[in-house]
Structure 1
Amino acid sequence: MDLIALRYFLVIAEEQHITRAAERLQMAQPNLTRLMRKLEEDLGFTLFDRSNKRRFALTPAGKTFLQQIIPLLQQYEDAVQVAKRVAQGEGGKLVVGYTPLAMFIGVLPALVQVYQRSPEVELLPRDISAVSRQMVLRMLRDGRLDVALLPHGSEEPGLACELLSTSSLVVVLPVNHPLADQQAIPLAALAREAWIQPSRSLNPRWHDDLAHLFQQAGFEPKVVHWTPQAHTLVSQVAAGLGLAILSTWTSQQLPHQGVVYRPLQDCEYLLEFHALWRRNDRSPLLQTFLRRCKGENEAS
């Protein structure tokens, strides 16, 4: 059955006049009449009482058909609009893996707020801070994650990677530390300190980069605690258990009256923040999400 003919039937029913309906539809009246005859043939019953040429009234069967067809046409229009939004990247489901950095940078919270205003989009954030990097890559490849927001990017088979932002490093010291009043601190000046670091299994690249920084400073750190969560790490520093190195992103989002954050002097290292996704994923929703990631980062 022709949906156009059903829409035309609806207009005639509203106007109750074939000439006015044809004018409203901007078409010739004979063509409209012919379409309605064909619709009645397809249905097997008469829709219009044609005994009154001035008034194109509905038959009882036509009235019943009208009542049933109106919600169906509305449902069709709604379906078209929802499908268009999906095609334009404004509908569907997206599973996003994130680490605390995505929260500290502000990218993910801003995107969650955006998609909360789009009921056609189901954005499912998944905390992967306690998951090893290799497991995250496996989850991307097998479809358990659609995109992952991670520090450090690298070329991975089957995955695409895009740099979203970079950050310099700071050292976290207790407020009563002898060097707490300095504006910047050379890492070599902290050679005798105890250190708190995240586990290597969670982020081998970050662990290896820190080791390289310490090596350049001329010492091997004495690590006394392995702590996966940044807020726990800051609390441990405040308690005097050791020092730590974090990004400026994290330091801005974790103020603590018991610690100070100081830039590392003459340190050119930049921590990178990336989005990773399956290279063959052409989902419009994913592409829209990635564009918004970059936009939110540039705005922050």
Structure 2
Amino acid sequence: MKLSTLRYFVEVATENSFTKASQNLFISQPTLSRRIQELESELGVTLFNRNNTNNLILSPEGKQLLVKVRDVLDQIDSISGMFDPDSVTNNNVTLIKVGCLSNFDYSELYNLIEQFKIQYPTVKFIIEQGSPMELNDGLLSRTYDLVLNLDNYISSNDVLKTSLYKKNNLQVAIQNNHRLASKQEIKFSDLTDETLILIERNKSPLVFDYVINQCLKHGFHAKANYYVKNLDEGLSKTSLGEGISFLYSGMDNGYLSKKYRVKFLNLNEEKSSQNLVYAFQENNNPMLDEFLNFVHQNRSDLY
């Protein structure tokens, strides 16, 4: 049983919503749902039920667990800081401000933050979402100490340092019985007669512009019959056979294809790869250096 899963459970119970809880935790909703399902399987009980209006409510077992878990987490937080002179006397808090792109899966990073805070209980992380340009500008203006952004949006200068967080390339999602399902990768020219599902441009300008431009480059206009607000909505429509949707591989937590009964195919295009990197300014926040060293030591496989 993971400590982070218990914190996830408390957040869902507090918000009575997987959607709101996932936004607060900055992880994808499918990841959060999977972790709660794993907890239910481990305990052998149902923790949440839905009523006739589809609202999320705690089961009797869930209510019992919530009381226990809150008590356990309070004790852990107390133990973590009991020998820290800063937390006992001065209660100093160090902020690490993180900016990240929406829709990507940051569950591994969030787990690292949870582990780091056990060792450094006076460190508080503030995590905000923004567009690629907003994240880059925020890093240069020191609004953020750390950003997770696509590499081609990070300014090239001696001030900013970057390191690979996750390899990332554009993919398409199709039904399992689609005519292209036998392929491992496709080209944009294969999409000439397909109905495309795009996330609204103000939500995902990178994918939107790239898909439209690539279609024009290959001699056809995109048949985008649907503009959706988020990735989950797009994958739902793909699952129902309403068209092909797009996502970056970094958005997939390994659970999406099973949940929506779709298949992901890589796009074999020269510029479809845009790796997700973390970027920061040196000598900006001493505690950030501690966190980055912690990440490197504990999850070097991320890089």
Task: Output the CA distance in 2 between the equivalents of 1:254 and 1:222.
Answer: 24
**8 A contact 2:168–2:248 mirrored in 1:** yes
Report the Cα offset of residue 94 of structure 1: 0.9
Task: Provide the alpha-carbon RMSD of the alignment.
Answer: 3.8
Task: Output the CA distance in 1 between the equivalents of 2:244 and 2:104.
Answer: 23
Task: Output the CA distance in 2 between the equivalents of 1:175 and 1:266.
Answer: 22
**Structure 2 matches for 1:1-300, cutoff 5 A?**
78-79=85-86, 92-100=94-102, 102-104=104-106, 106-128=107-129, 131-140=130-139, 143-152=142-151, 153-155=153-155, 160-164=160-164, 165-251=166-252, 252-255=254-257, 256-265=259-268, 269-277=272-280, 279=281, 281-293=283-295, 298-300=300-302
**8 A contact 1:133–1:202 mirrored in 2:** no
**8 A contact 1:101–1:151 mirrored in 2:** no
Task: Output the CA distance in 1 between the equivalents of 2:120 and 2:168.
Answer: 34
**8 A contact 1:103–1:109 mirrored in 2:** no
Question: 1:150 corresponds to which letter in structure 2?
Answer: N
Counterparts in 2 of 1:295 and 1:155: CA distance versus 1, 3 Å = farther
Task: Output the CA distance in 2 between the equivalents of 1:270 and 1:285.
Answer: 32
**8 A contact 2:169–2:275 mirrored in 1:** no
Report the Cα offset of residue 145 of structure 1: 3.1
Report the Cα offset of residue 95 of structure 1: 2.0
Task: Output the CA distance in 2 between the equivalents of 1:77 and 1:240.
Answer: 56
Task: Output the CA distance in 2 between the equivalents of 1:80 and 1:177.
Answer: 58
**8 A contact 1:172–1:260 mirrored in 2:** yes
Gaps of 5+ in 1: 1-74
Gaps of 5+ in 2: 1-81
Task: Output the CA distance in 2 between the equivalents of 1:126 and 1:112.
Answer: 11
Q: Could you give the per-residue CA deviations for residues 3-37 of structure 1, whole angstroms, max 9, x where no partner exists?
A: xxxxxxxxxxxxxxxxxxxxxxxxxxxxxxxxxxx
Question: 1:261 corresponds to which letter in structure 2?
Answer: F
Normalization by structure 1: what TM-score? Answer: 0.57
Question: 1:146 corresponds to which letter in structure 2?
Answer: D
Counterparts in 2 of 1:253 and 1:148: CA distance versus 1, 3 Å = farther
Q: Could you give the per-residue CA deviations for residues 198-217 of structure 1, whole angstroms, max 9, x where no partner exists?
A: 33334544443334433444
Q: Could you give the per-residue CA deviations for residues 136-177 of structure 1, whole angstroms, max 9, x where no partner exists?
A: 445445554332212343217897251423223321012232
Larger gyration radius, structure 1 or structure 2: 1
Aligned partner of residue 201 in structure 2, secondary structure: coil
Indicate the percent of aligned positions where both proteins have the same amino acid: 17
Question: 2:121 corresponds to which letter in structure 1?
Answer: E
Task: Output the CA distance in 1 between the equivalents of 2:287 and 2:212.
Answer: 39
Q: Could you give the per-residue CA deviations for residues 30-82 of structure 1, whole angstroms, max 9, x where no partner exists?
A: xxxxxxxxxxxxxxxxxxxxxxxxxxxxxxxxxxxxxxxxxxxxx99935999
**8 A contact 1:96–1:126 mirrored in 2:** yes
